[in-house]
Structure 1
């Protein structure tokens, strides 16, 4: 049986580590789920929105990246907690506790979010192949499908193999953007100011802020993370489950801190390379790639292309796994991963075949994700606040309040966007 949740691999089920061991030795078995989920936070949709936001407004929207990443840490911690405390994913809990019409609605919205996610990731990787190797977008898309299939096939050999590959790809993307910052030499005083001072400049900045939010706090990552932790390390008592959760928080802090720094670096790079030099109208990934060479040198363009390609491939693989978790959890349908790969890549190939502007499709897909977020966040906050489900891992009232405020802000932002 092919299963997204790693419980099907009995040899991969890990034991709660003994407290007398060194901290690093105790921590290693827990590192992995958050790194897999964090790939969703640095996909080509992030790059597209960061390029537009940085070129148009400089570092003004950097605070949105910071706030979104801090919110993502809390949200992913709640998602991981659900799997650890209940042994079920978020989608499974929704199926068990909500009326079937609600379950079908949640599944439909979540599937559309997964498709929108894969659209961004798939097109981004195809653009990466085109920029680096001159391949037509369609051929780049097909090559992306083959490579992502090889990556997700590692899941059959055990979750550790998949986690190691995904973590290595995350490291490549992070290294690329560190190099971009070195080449760009940003104004760190300006960066520090806009990282903490909220500012907006009209409806265009609000739209990009929503895109950044949609690209950072990802609904499919919420469902996936709860599935990754549900039976990975089994706690037999409340004390053991609390121990598992504490270690998972470290996993989340490390992985999402890296992802957050990468997201910030994306926007800072665009602000430094384009906005500072008066290139405010750079609105496409291809335009960013071509403009970097005269501004920062050929190395900057090459590094940008590599980061885009690796981010697209890795996030597309993770997106396929998330889609599998959504379908299995809500409907108890299990389809082969190759079929899931075909289903999710079809819209992206259609966009490429129709000649739709890929960068525009990327940005709009991220905005679409922000509209799907409440369908994941509301049940997440609700379930994690229930003692009968969560036991001693039930949210503190402060946690529930903070998560509720974040959810309310996201919904309000979506309403404002609809009105405008």
Structure 2
């Protein structure tokens, strides 16, 4: 069953009926952005944000704020693309790109999916080890199985899957924001962190990792699939209603993700920056440091949030992998086989003993390099009236999206220059 078939079978009410139901109708349409939001608070975010706060204090607060604003714009374009065309981004790339370009796009998107799963499975494995002492390899297998179970909820329609993801997102939010509220934050330093700046190549690497962990390539592909065919607009009023609710969905979902990401960095900056707390560049060290500097409640809140993140984001990542292959190649493989293919590299990393936190940070840098290949086609397609019809981007929107794409490409190019040439 395709995602479109599932959505259609689970949404018997028409858009007009939902409009007449007021706020209850709006609630019935919310959901896709919260699924996307989970990818913005995956375990890679834990590694990069806590490492950034512990190593550079409040310096990179501005990166999280800017990345979250970028995410809102990008996800709104992806959602609108699915709504306007009834197709997702990989499907439209297959239609509008030459065959060799399409195959290249598929290949790099699959690498992005593998890097995504690497972060998510490692995060879940580390969390299970911190909470229950489970070996990392076994924890990785458990995380993969839980993700498979979550995806099984799709057979009952989009709502059960979305509710499970929102529940896990709520656990992440509570686990981290509750710690933030109990932390003594330096207000002036936090405000100063809103001013853009770097402190050497190390901070630039982490900034690129934060960007890769916040503006996730695979979820750019996915969001267009989450809205395609979900509800069919049968007139201008229906279209305007779906657009308004979609913007609300994105503002809420991305707002939650931004608050979670900011909480991570600020807590690390307040508790670890400039201190002699050891190991704060690792997830295990952060867990121990929270217990030392605050209390066991903060430490276990962190671990539970990390576990919820690993479970939820791994399910969403595998879903995105399905969309990528089906869209670019018009082929599907059994869900279990896809789960095993993307799980294998993560289990290999865990099996040979590579440092989990370092693998997480590097995976986010890989994701950052994959952003332009998802973002540029998205901007190009949503700016074309023959593709979007009346929902084509306003010129200001296209300009803003081009600037975002240029910033991402420029940051990555500068990183390469500093790391390998300068």
Q: TM-score, normalised by structure 1?
A: 0.96
Q: Report the equivalent of 1:207.
A: 205
Which residue of structure 1 aligns with residue 215 of structure 2? 217
| 1:278, distance to aligned residue in structure 2 (A) | 4.4
Contact 1:56 1:280 survives alignment (8 Å): no
Aligned to 1:292: 290
Cα displacement (A) at 1:24 = 1.5
| DSSP-derived class of the 2:15 partner | coil
Shift of 1:279: 3.8
CA offset at residue 381 of structure 1? 0.2
Residue number among 316, 319, 326 corresponding to 1:318 in the alignment: 316
SS of 1:42's equivalent in the other structure is coil
- CA apart distance, 1:142: 1.1
Deviation at 1:23, TM superposition (A): 3.6
Does structure 1 retain, via aligned residues, the 8 Å contact 2:45–2:210?
yes
Question: What is the deviation of 1:147?
Answer: 1.2
- Deviation at residue 16 of structure 1 after TM alignment: 0.8
Aligned counterparts, 1:270-419, within 5 A: 270-275=268-273, 277-279=275-277, 282-419=280-417
Question: In the TM superposition, what whole-angstrom CA distance separates every residue of 1:186-240 from its partner, at most 9, and x where no partner exists?
Answer: 123322332x311211111111000000000001001000001011111133442
Cα contact 2:8–2:230 (8 A) shared by 1: no
Q: Secondary structure at the match of 2:120?
A: helix
Equivalence for 2:58: 59
Instruction: Name the structure 2 match of 1:74.
Output: 73
How far apart are the structure 2 equivalents of 1:416 and 1:206? 9
Q: Deviations over 1:48-78 (max 9, x none)?
A: 0011100000111010000000000000000
Alpha carbons 2:131, 2:300 under 8 Å: kept? yes
TM-score (norm: length of structure 2): 0.96
Whether the aligned pair in 2 keeps the contact of 1:242 and 1:393 (CA below 8 Å) is no
SS at match of 1:282: coil
Determine if contact 1:123/1:358 at 8 Å carries over to the other structure: yes
Residue in structure 1 matched with residue 188 of structure 2 by the alignment: 189
Which residue does 1:41 correspond to in 2?
A: 40
1:172 corresponding residue in structure 2: 171
1:250, CA displacement in angstroms? 0.6
Q: Which runs of 5+ in 1 are unaligned?
A: none
CA contact (8 A) 1:55 1:279 kept: no
What is the CA RMSD across the aligned residues, in angstroms?
1.4
Would you say the 8 A contact 2:278–2:285 is kept in 1?
no
Cα deviation, 1:357-403, whole Å, max 9, x if unaligned, reads 11111000000011011100000000000111111110000000000
Give the superposition deviation at 1:418: 1.1
- Contact 1:55-1:280 within 8 A present in 2 as well: no
Once residues 32 and 378 of structure 1 are traced to their aligned partners in structure 2, the CA distance between those partners, rounded to angstroms, is 25
* Aligned mates of 2:4, 2:300 — CA distance in 1: 36
Count, aligned residues: 417
Partner residue of 2:248 out of 247, 250, 256: 250
1:310-360 alpha-carbon deviations (Å, 9 max, x no partner): 111100010000011001110011122222111111100010111111111
SS at match of 1:199: coil
